[in-house]
């Protein structure tokens, strides 16, 4: 394996376009898969598959441990022979971790039977072995300077998985058939990786111990953060499976994130990440905070109205996507969407830029612990809605803790570090638009006319308030000590 400069005949825009194709396909395929399976499968089968998919997502994410990012970071810095050993070592390390996770799942299944059957557990276990070891595929193409191949790889693998899972469901083979498709897609991905990159165990034990330690040190903070984060997003579904097993499918739909509301803040954070690192490393905390403040302020103007709009049309959206049998998912879905009101930036980007990546782990652990404590209490006393309220409270606690840590980075209090005035103004205007739109729609009997009425009213109010807000200069910014 050799590294080269980016393919010279591709412009920057084209290179970004190929990468966007691959990453966009991954996100879109996940959404399409959930929507299609929820509509195709009978309610009981969807319950079974929804629970198995949460185990699959947690297992693959935890096992991969973010090692794909270390490939991009380390390979360009070392010679070709060391790079080949690093790639092979990473591949076999992930295979070993995946095999361990697969064995653990089968052991848990034999004792407690959390999944529907031993066959389902075996099929999920297969993906633990085949998929994590191949997550470095796209990164390897990147370090070769071939963004087109990286994008095509991600796009192809996502498409294969989507078709492999959906087609058995369409054929009437149920949840187990869909899991057979998932396992087969993992096998295809594994065989493709081995055929393209040909990792060899020869010589991987020679030297390079310091490089391996450096790779693990690089990955541990982000890997732990991802692991805690994906557990926090899945633990509530597991609690439903334990307490209200017939409602797992409904809750999986309710807890589904709207992709655009997730992508926007991360894109905004990525746009300023390099400048943040430079400013903070040079000791310019005031300038770094102003840069971050402006990014949060501009993103708030987009995210808050969008989140409230999704909340407004949630009843129609859930029915249109998943069918009339998921009416109970509307209220929890609305509350989960409201969580997006605070996602106006990637808060962890500041901590990583300041060299405090370990604190992102604590933020995720606080969210996980809060989801368990508040969520379980809410589930016992209020069912799915109570669980959702508890999970939202966990997000609130984690958010405030993270703002406190950001305040320490910038030398400010929680009251000073975040543009509260602007954020509350946008939240207030969006909430008012929501209330007026619902009130207007309630006066109309025809469902389609009522839907159009509330969409139009909401859009008009948001446009008017944005024009007013746009003319007001922000005089509330608090001075930051140099």
Secondary structure (DSSP) of 439-452: HHHTT--SHHHHHH
Of the candidate ranges 132-141, 223-232, 268-277, 339-348, the one whose mean pLDDT is the lowest: 268-277
Q: Three-state DSSP class for 360? A: helix
Cβ count near 231 (within 10 Å) = 19
Closest CA to 237 of 379, 97, 337: 379
List, for residues 179-213, the tens digit of each pLDDT value. 999 999 999 999 999 999 999 887 666 656 677 78
| Distance from C-alpha of 352 to C-alpha of 357, rounded to nearest angstrom | 5
List, for residues 249-294, the tens digit of each pLDDT value. 999 999 988 887 887 787 777 778 878 988 998 999 999 999 999 9
Provide the pLDDT for residue 9.
55
pTM given for the model? 0.89
Please say whether the beta carbons of 291 and 279 come within 8 A: yes
Taking the alpha carbons of 248, 231, 365, 330 in that order, is the dihedral positive or negative? Answer: negative
- Count Cα neighbours of 100 within 13 Å in the Cβ-side half-sphere: 10
Please say whether the beta carbons of 233 and 255 come within 8 A: yes
- Count Cα neighbours of 442 within 13 Å in the Cβ-side half-sphere: 7
Provide the pLDDT for residue 44.
94
List, for residues 25-83, the tens digit of each pLDDT value. 888 899 899 999 999 999 999 999 999 999 999 999 999 987 887 787 788 778 888 88
Please say whether the beta carbons of 223 and 66 come within 8 A: yes
Position 11 confidence tier, pLDDT thresholds 50, 70, 90: low
């Amino acid at each position: 394996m050799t590294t080269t400069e980016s393919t010279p005949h591709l412009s920057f825009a084209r290179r970004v376009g190929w990468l966007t194709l691959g990453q966009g396909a991954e996100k879109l395929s996940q959404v399409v898969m959930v929507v299609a399976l929820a509509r195709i499968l009978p309610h009981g089968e969807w319950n079974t598959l929804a629970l198995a998919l949460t185990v699959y997502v947690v297992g693959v994410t935890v096992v991969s441990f973010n090692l794909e990012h270390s490939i991009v970071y380390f390979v360009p810095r070392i010679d070709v022979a060391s790079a080949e050993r690093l790639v092979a070592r990473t591949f076999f390390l992930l295979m070993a971790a995946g095999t361990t996770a697969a064995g653990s799942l089968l052991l848990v299944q034999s004792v407690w039977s959390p999944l529907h059957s031993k066959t389902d557990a075996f099929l999920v276990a297969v993906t633990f072995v085949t998929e994590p070891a191949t997550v470095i595929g796209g990164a390897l193409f990147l370090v070769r300077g071939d963004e087109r191949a990286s994008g095509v790889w991600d796009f192809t693998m996502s498409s294969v998985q989507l078709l492999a899972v959906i087609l058995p469901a369409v054929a009437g083979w149920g949840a187990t058939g869909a899991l057979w498709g998932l396992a087969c897609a993992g096998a295809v991905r594994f065989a493709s990786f081995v055929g393209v990159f040909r990792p060899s165990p020869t010589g991987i034990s020679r030297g390079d111990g310091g490089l391996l330690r450096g790779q693990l040190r690089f990955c541990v903070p982000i890997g732990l953060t991802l692991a805690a984060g994906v557990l926090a997003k899945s633990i509530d579904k597991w609690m439903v499976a334990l307490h209200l097993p017939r409602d797992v499918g409904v809750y999986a739909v309710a807890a589904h994130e709207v992709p655009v509301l997730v992508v926007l803040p991360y894109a905004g954070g990525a746009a300023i990440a390099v400048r943040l690192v430079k400013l903070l490393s040079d000791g310019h905390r005031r300038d770094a905070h102003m840069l971050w403040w402006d990014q949060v302020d501009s993103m708030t103007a987009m995210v808050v109205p969008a989140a409230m709009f999704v909340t407004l049309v949630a009843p129609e959206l859930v029915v249109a996507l998943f069918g009339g049998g998921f009416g109970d998912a509307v209220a929890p879905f609305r509350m989960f969407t409201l969580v997006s009101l605070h996602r106006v930036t990637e808060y962890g980007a500041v901590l990583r830029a300041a060299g405090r990546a370990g604190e992102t782990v604590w933020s995720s652990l606080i969210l996980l612990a809060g989801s368990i404590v508040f969520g379980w209490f809410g589930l016992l006393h209020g069912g799915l809605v109570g669980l959702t309220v508890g999970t939202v409270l966990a997000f609130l606690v984690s958010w405030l803790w993270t703002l406190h840590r950001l305040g320490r980075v910038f030398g400010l209090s929680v009251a000073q570090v975040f543009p509260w005035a602007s954020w509350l103004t946008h939240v207030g205007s969006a909430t008012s638009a929501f209330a007026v739109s619902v009130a207007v729609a309630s006066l109309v009997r025809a469902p389609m006319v009522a839907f159009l009425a509330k969409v139009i009213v909401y859009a008009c109010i948001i446009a008017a308030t944005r024009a007013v807000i746009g003319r007001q200069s922000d005089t509330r910014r608090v001075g930051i000590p140099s």
